[in-house]
Amino acid sequence: MAHAPSGFEFSVRGDTVEVRHHGRPAATLRNAAARRFLADVEQHDPQHVMARVTGDYKRGNERSGTRRP
């Protein structure tokens, strides 16, 4: 079972949005992408939206991490 994303935060400066994950820069969005991001954050779970824009989002095709024989 997948865990919900956490540890993301964002800041807005003019027409730029900076997304951080555990304090480290993860993505910078500008202009139209920043506006779409802010609209999505208002309508959906912000942690999921930030995980999606940074590419750190479970797609169901990851391996379990166990070695296979």
Residue 39 lies in a domain: yes
Residue 13 lies in a domain: yes
Which of the pair, 67 or 26, is modelled with greater confidence?
Answer: 26
Residue 65 lies in a domain: no
Residue 67 lies in a domain: no
Residue 68: DSSP 8-state: P
Q: What is the SS3 assignment for 14-52?
A: CCEEEEEECCEEEEEEEHHHHHHHHHHHHHCCHHHHHHH
The H or E element that residue 8 is part of is strand 8-13
Average confidence (pLDDT) over 36-59: 87
Residue 59 lies in a domain: no
Residue 3 lies in a domain: no
Total of domains in the chain: 1
Provide the pLDDT confidence category of residue 6 given band limits of 50, 70 and 90: confident
Range(s) of the domain holding residue 34: 8-54
Instruction: Kindly report the pTM of this predicted structure.
Output: 0.75
Residue 49 lies in a domain: yes
Which of the pair, 4 or 56, is modelled with greater confidence?
Answer: 4
- Residue 13, SS3 per DSSP: strand
